[in-house]
Amino acid sequence: MNEKVALITGGARGIGKAIGLSLANAGWTIAICYRKSSEDANNTQKAIEDKGSKCLTVQCDVSDPKAAEAFASQVENEFGRVDALINCAGPYHRVNILQETVEDWHSMFDNNLHPIFYLSKAVTPGMIERKWGRIVNFSMANADQMVGQPNLTAHYIAKVGVLILTRSLARALAPHGITVNAISPGFIDSGSAPKEELEAMVKRIPAGFLGSTKDAVEAASFLLSEEAKYVNGTNIHLSGGWGM
């Protein structure tokens, strides 16, 4: 895994940051994009560089196809390649579907689903040329159940789309030595939700405890490894049994 380059969306904090730090420990070069908090991005870059790895941080709205393509090109120009694309960015909002606005409806697809397509299109030509690549997408633990979600409708549909896109890309890219897989977290203590809200959900988790960013790191590390070269198009539930 040495001397490989990972592009991580949403890599300034939470799960994306944890994966970036873990890969830096393994000798990877890291490129991350963020939308709002330059302080988080600067702190993450310093933490990665303190581990002896190179790191590029770019403020970028990957919901814009031109910006996503430009970011991928910048990473390839800076480091010469992209070996792994890890799509961690995935904002959400809770609102009843009857009160949902058209703008917010579109934003859920623009931020959760479309960037995976844009960035995959941008980075896979190099992966195909090198006959090696890894793409890891993040969905949500019960997306494959396709149940009614009146307070998370657009976000939920977008995450179902992530699973379909993952499988489609896996089939298209498998002949080129590229794997595309999904990780579907349940309740993970990643800093993105109030701790009180997460702790109130523990009783709904069969395992009886919250997941951690370390759990996400372990799943992603496996999918990025050579040991997972025959794992393609799968969806790993990271939920302690919730959402089944």
Rg of the chain taking only CA atoms, in angstroms? 17
Catalytic residue among 34, 92, 118, 156: 156
Give the count of beta carbons closer than 10 Å to the beta carbon of residue 183. Answer: 27
CA–CA distance, 108 with 95 (Å, rounded to integer): 12
**Residue 230 CA, distance from chain mean position:** 20
Tell me if 183 sits within 8 A of 138, measured CB to CB. yes
92 is catalytic: no
3-state secondary structure of 140: coil
Which residue numbers are catalytic? 156
